[in-house]
Amino acid sequence: NQQILLSKRPEGMPTEENFEFKNTAVLAPENGQVLVRTIYLSVDPYMRGRMSDAKSYAEPYKLNEMISGGIIGEVVQSRSDQLSVGDKVIGMLGWQHYNVIEASGVRKVDDTIAPLSSYLSVLGMTGLTAYFGLLDIGNPQEGETVVVSGAAGAVGMIVGQIAKIKGARVVGIAGSDNKTAFLEKELGFDKAVNYKTAGNINDSLKQACPNGVDVYFDNVGGEISDAVMSLLNDFARIPLCGAISSYNRTDGDIGPRIQPNLIKSRSLIKGFIIGDYSDRFDEGIQTLAKWVSEGSLKYEENIVEGFENVPQAFLGLFKGENLGKQLVKVNDE
Ligand code: NDP
């Protein structure tokens, strides 16, 4: 049973040196527990925060201990009435091939109604983040302009499409021509801007948003957000979801640096953590699943194969290597 430990806390951009592979024995489940074989493992930007020891909303990972995160697996041994061998389950589990866990610590998923991996993407945390952040805080109205940064990532891609479903005009910001073309051609974004080649991002955005910005779903923070927030219409709404442009910074300087504009436009800016919506997850999953089955919501997964590639897949998030949700397929379904 191979595991991945946090061997060193990163300063700035993490590297493979922050991770260590370790071989251990597979443990046997005790009463009330199950043994779960990992199938899909989710790597997420928030894990960068947990690799540091700074206090945040999620507990820091402990040094020289196993990293954990969202995992989908199969029950291969059960000593619980609640789960049977062969059941597919999702939970926050350790980065290893086999986890022993209380049956109540995982949730059964039905792979006959949706692909297994989708429970870690569109029907999982990232889909729900897009759904509640956009609809609860952003509240986009027909004809309004919605801008989303990190638009070709797991959350951003869903945000833009939900905004389209609600009748908004959608502008995405992403880091490659391949990504912007995908957003416009495959997902129906009205416009997508490549922030790396845009030259003056302020000018490019101004052109892309001739009627200003009513909703800005912020995944990245920093200069990109400064540029979007210079275009806010009166009573704009800004769900603050993430600030990936700052996660590896060591100087701490990050926006928003356009306060006068926020005041002048009387905008609402609100941070949120997806866990706050846990009592409404069923509603979110049902609606997302309905849109997927109707064909109005597409999703994309960037699936890398092999446990040995988990660190690289994680590091790739900070280099923009993923289109859609980054997952690792650790073992066969
Ligand atoms: P993504 O799938 O969007 O992957 C990260 C993407 O961020 C990369 O592909 C890259 O795309 C972009 N990126 C990386 N570095 C930078 C940078 N310096 N400046 C601008 N863009 C950058 O991840 P998720 O969809 O899972 O997460 C998106 C955001 O949402 C993150 O900030 C995350 O922390 C946050 N989040 C917040 C939650 C909450 O509860 N509040 C829950 C889930 C996620 P590109 O090529 O475009 O640069």
Kindly list the domain boundaries of the chain, sorted by start residue.
2-121+300-329, 125-275
- 237-255: average pLDDT: 88
Residue nearest to atom 36 of ligand 1 (CA): 242
Q: Which residues form the pocket of ligand 1, taking CB atoms under 6 Å from any ligand atom?
A: 44-46, 125-126, 129, 150, 152-156, 174-176, 179, 219-220, 224, 241-245, 272-274, 317-318, 320, 322, 326
The CATH number that domain 125-275 falls under is 3.40.50.720
Provide the pLDDT for residue 258: 72
| Average pLDDT, integer, range 108-128 | 96
Counting other chains too, the contacts that 224-228 makes at CB distance below 8 Å and 24 or more residues apart are 224/149, 224/173, 224/195, 225/149, 225/255, 225/256, 226/255, 226/256, 226/257, 226/258, 227/201, 227/202, 228/147, 228/149, 228/173
Name the pLDDT band for 272 (thresholds 50, 70, 90): very high
- Is pLDDT of 221 > 80? yes
Residue nearest to atom 5 of ligand 1 (CA): 317
User: What is the distance in A from the centroid of ligand 1 to the CA of 221?
Assistant: 10
Comparing 110-114, 171-175, 236-240, 304-308, the range with the smallest average pLDDT is 110-114
DSSP class of residue 138 equals I
| β-pair type (232-240, 213-217) | parallel
Within 10 angstroms of residue 167's Cβ, the number of other Cβ atoms is: 11
Distance of CA 44 to the CA centre of its chain: 6
Ligand 1: which of 42, 162, 220, 327 to mutate, most ligand atoms within 8 Å of CB?
220
- Tally Cβ neighbours within 10 Å of residue 263: 9
Per-residue model confidence as pLDDT tens digits over 257-266: 777 889 999 9
Q: Are 172 and 152 in contact (CB under 8 A)?
A: yes
Reported as a single tens digit per residue, the pLDDT across 76-98 is 999 999 999 999 999 999 999 99
Fold type of domain 2-121+300-329:
Quinone Oxidoreductase; Chain A, domain 1 (3.90.180)
